[in-house]
Amino acid sequence: MLTKINLRFFGLLVAAFIASSSFAQTSAKDLQFVVTNNSYVKVYENVKTEFDRKFANAEGVVWDNLGNNFLAKFSIGDVKYRTLFNSKGRLIYKNTYGDEKLLPTYLRKDVKRNYIEYLITSVVLVEEANRSIWVINLEDDTNYVIARVENDEIEEVKQYMKRK
């Protein structure tokens, strides 16, 4: 008797799940399958269209799901990008990865003026919510430094000593 009740309850749960998912706002025709790391990621057509509009020259695009959002990893020339789109096709953030040539000339000179003996090893431009933040990795013979620049103000985030 108890097994029949459990079976009926389970059947009702499955039926409720199927019924609720049938009211979803996105249909299968709005999804585009994209290959990534030998698996498939469903990317909404509006997301793919907006991505193509913003990054027409993108090469080696790899899509991943990040919660309900879509993460695109790609490059344009020597510069690497990570972009996150929501399900409506709106760009949430864009990270741009490169070397010191990515920095604007005035900013590169300002950083080198503050860190005379240091080499700029890599930079990341984080663009989100109308903010642009540069994260700059530097090193000299004995130290590593992570600096951030927002609104042309340089702030040292962390300094590490190199091991010998």
Q: Where are the domains of the chain?
A: 26-97, 99-164
DSSP state at residue 87: T
Domain 26-97 top-level CATH class: alpha beta
pLDDT for residue 39: 56
pLDDT for residue 41: 86
With beta carbons less than 8 A apart as the criterion, state whether 81 and 55 touch: yes
Distance CA 157, CA 115 (A): 14
Distance CA 43, CA 69 (A): 9
Task: Name the fold adopted by 99-164.
Answer: Nuclear Transport Factor 2; Chain: A, (3.10.450)
The residue type of 44 is: Y
pLDDT tens digit at each of 164 positions of the chain? 444 443 344 343 334 334 333 333 433 334 344 444 445 788 999 999 999 999 999 999 999 999 999 999 999 999 999 999 999 999 999 999 999 999 999 999 999 999 999 999 999 999 999 999 999 999 999 999 999 999 999 999 999 999 87
pLDDT for residue 30: 41
pLDDT for residue 114: 96
Residue with tokens 């399900």: 87
**Is-same-fold flag (26-97; 99-164)?**
yes
Reported pTM: 0.74
pLDDT for residue 72: 97
